[in-house]
Structure 1
Amino acid sequence: MTERLHLIVAFLLSAGLPAVAAPCQFEAQGEARVAAITDARSVRFDDGREVRLTGIEATATTRQALTSLLVGRDVILRGTDDTPDRYGRQGALLFIGESDIPVQSMLLAQGDALVSAEITDKDCSAALMSSEAEARRQKKGSWADPSAIKNAESPDDILAGIGRFMVVEGKVLSVRQAGAMTYLNFGRNWTHGFAVTISKRNLPAFESAGISLKSLETRRIRVRGWVEGTTGPRIDVRLLGQVELLGANEPTGVRP
């Protein structure tokens, strides 16, 4: 694993993905040396600070990949906000040495992470999505698993992953509003079928992007987020980047 990741870094630094990295060049927020990986998305520096990697969600291989990639390396932190979270961790994009490619892009490009959609900067978000899409096309890392993308027509498979971050694809059968919530329904049985929920307070982001939720009816989409629910699985969409429109010829469901 260590040799493979070091080869990946060398390739990316010398020849790969410069256009992908450039949009994520936010303000520098300091430098440090990585002492340890504390969990699949967090690192501890030798000065005691802890940083949470923004823009990604972990897969089964993320922590091992980070350990091989970062421990003992000097990194630069970049971001738009250095306010620590409730655990005292600063959120940031990490760059190894003078590289202009974020570590997040390296992980995504090898299928060792998923895009979280939390970065709202349009260009940086698109760049991270591009890295993930390439890994998906090549079936790298977690995308080698045929069940990496869940089929919206199989709600029981999605519900089995309650409490996990998942990627789901399918056709929106109906769009309904109930109170302050809009439901994108993927099944005819609204109680048991998979659905996406979008609160009224989050509608302006879609409107600003020129997307009417009603226009998603009969469209095929890919959605990502944390699975909730009891009888029927739900993903609550708070950010525009959680929803991707799919082309008519793209395969639905389990195949990346």
Structure 2
Amino acid sequence: MPLPRPRPRPSARAATAALAALAMASALAMVPAVRPAPAVAEPAGLSCGLAEIEPATGAGATVARATVAAVPDARTLLLADGREVLLAGLAPASADTPAGRTARAALAGLVEGRPVVLAQGTPIPDRWGRTVAWVTVAGDPPGPLRLGTLQLALLAQGHARVAARVEDEACRPALRAAERAARAANLGLWADPVYAAVPAAQPAEILKRRGRFAVVVGPVDSVRESGGTIYLNFGRRWAEGFAATIPKRIERTLAVAGLVPGRLAGRRVEVRGVVEQRGGGPRIEILRAEQLALDAPGGDAPGMHEAPERRPDRPRPPRMGP
């Protein structure tokens, strides 16, 4: 029977390598695992601030960091690199009016000559080649800009209104809150009869804004449908009173946003958009959810799903059964 062959002894070099690997493994086992830092919650009210637009997850995008060279009007910035920037989400006063000139001066005082950061939550195309963006001032901004974006600062001072189109839904509640606070305090545009919110019960005053952007506030008298259109009527005389018209095709879109037209009778709401005249009375066509809101703090959507308040002129039906 043959004897088993002896195993070869490891060389000194191999033994040294094995001992080194064992020592390294033991050392690594003693090092505590590195845990990622917890996410820091952003302060309430900064939904449109840089922290929300430019988060670590990469949602949203910074499109420029530049210095503002000039401010031609209450919604436009000219950068030192030659680009033209349009402030997203705002409806300013006309540039050739006293209110528009005051708003332009206020905007220039906040950003002219300062470095700014431009960001887009949702890329918004502009047919004239302008960059439509949310703007924050880099470094140590002036007091009003500590609210967050330039848009919030202008709204809080009453130098602009929230536009009928706001692409970034996360920004909308903060914009609305800033606008409502300025309106309640009668600041800026809201002190000017040309731009102040118009009561829905004054159709003649609303018609004076025909062809222009306006904010109309009042209780909905009734909701009616005709053909492919839903009418929010703000007066008994439908042909003469103010009405907001809603294409039937967007009813589901409004419902998803918490805006149910059929449940608005008796509710006080605000409507924004361009005033038109149809059949003698003033009209605003609602094509987007942000054009319609409850006229109450934080009233973009909360409460829309509740049952409508019963009209006092409509008696309760008699109770049936025991």
Question: Would you call these one fold, judging by a TM-score over 0.5?
Answer: yes
Q: Secondary structure at the match of 1:202?
A: helix
Q: Which residue of 2 aligns with 1:5?
A: none
Q: Larger deviation: 155-164 or 75-84?
A: 75-84
Is 1:41 the counterpart of 2:55? The answer is no
* Superposition misfits of 4+ residues, deviation over 4 angstroms: none
Which residue of the other structure, out of 107, 124, 130, is the alignment partner of 1:89? 130
How much does 1:201 deviate? Answer: 2.8
Asked if 2 retains the 8 angstrom alpha-carbon contact of 1:108 and 1:128, the reply is yes
Q: Which residue of 1 aligns with 2:210?
A: 162
Alpha-carbon RMSD across the aligned residues, in angstroms, is 2.2
Question: Percent sequence identity over matched residues?
Answer: 43
Q: Which residue of 1 aligns with 2:174?
A: 127
* 2:106 maps to amino acid: A
Which residue of the other structure, out of 123, 137, 143, is the alignment partner of 2:190? 143
Q: Secondary structure at the match of 1:21?
A: coil
* 2:118 maps to amino acid: L
Q: Which residue of 1 aligns with 2:45?
A: 20
Gaps of 5+ in 2: 1-41, 54-59, 94-98, 297-322
Asked if 2 retains the 8 angstrom alpha-carbon contact of 1:117 and 1:125, the reply is no
Asked if 2 retains the 8 angstrom alpha-carbon contact of 1:93 and 1:104, the reply is yes
* 1:143 maps to amino acid: W
Give the strand-richer structure, 1 or 2.
1
* 1:77 maps to amino acid: L
Is 1:243 the counterpart of 2:277? The answer is no
Q: Secondary structure at the match of 2:180?
A: helix
* 1:49 maps to amino acid: R
Instruction: Give CA deviations for 1:138-194 in whole Å, capped at 9, x if unaligned.
Output: 222222346711011110101001122111111211212222221111122222211
Asked if 1 retains the 8 angstrom alpha-carbon contact of 2:89 and 2:167, the reply is no
How much does 1:95 deviate? Answer: 0.5
The structure whose RCO (Cα within 8 Å, separation 6+) is larger is 1
Q: In the aligned structure 2, how far is the partner of 1:84 from the partner of 1:239?
A: 17
Asked if 2 retains the 8 angstrom alpha-carbon contact of 1:20 and 1:131, the reply is no
Q: Which residue of 2 aligns with 1:56?
A: 90
* 1:38 maps to amino acid: P
* 1:129 maps to amino acid: R
How much does 1:120 deviate? Answer: 4.3
Q: In the aligned structure 2, how far is the partner of 1:162 from the partner of 1:146?
A: 15
Instruction: Give CA deviations for 1:61-117 in whole Å, capped at 9, x if unaligned.
Output: 322221222221111011134454111111111111146710000001111111114
Asked if 1 retains the 8 angstrom alpha-carbon contact of 2:114 and 2:137, the reply is yes
Q: Which residue of 2 aligns with 1:252?
A: none
* 1:235/1:151 CA distance change after superposition, 3 Å: same
Gaps of 5+ in 1: 1-16, 248-256
Q: Which residue of 2 aligns with 1:73?
A: 114
How much does 1:198 deviate? Answer: 1.1
Is 1:178 the counterpart of 2:226? The answer is yes
Q: In the aligned structure 1, how far is the partner of 2:235 from the partner of 2:47?
A: 41
Q: Larger deviation: 117-126 or 233-242?
A: 117-126
Asked if 2 retains the 8 angstrom alpha-carbon contact of 1:162 and 1:229, the reply is yes
Asked if 2 retains the 8 angstrom alpha-carbon contact of 1:81 and 1:91, the reply is no
Q: Which residue of 2 aligns with 1:116?
A: 163
**Greater Rg over alpha carbons, structure:** 2
Q: In the aligned structure 2, how far is the partner of 1:183 from the partner of 1:76?
A: 42
* 1:131/1:181 CA distance change after superposition, 3 Å: same
**Aligned counterparts, 1:97-116, within 5 A:** 97-98=138-139, 101-116=148-163
Q: In the aligned structure 2, how far is the partner of 1:195 from the partner of 1:22?
A: 32
Q: Which residue of 2 aligns with 1:232?
A: 281
What TM-score do you get using the length of structure 1 for normalisation? Answer: 0.82
Q: In the aligned structure 2, how far is the partner of 1:35 from the partner of 1:82?
A: 24
Q: In the aligned structure 2, how far is the partner of 1:124 from the partner of 1:29?
A: 18
* 1:58/1:23 CA distance change after superposition, 3 Å: closer
Q: Which residue of 2 aligns with 1:6?
A: none
How much does 1:217 deviate? Answer: 1.3
What TM-score do you get using the length of structure 2 for normalisation? Answer: 0.66
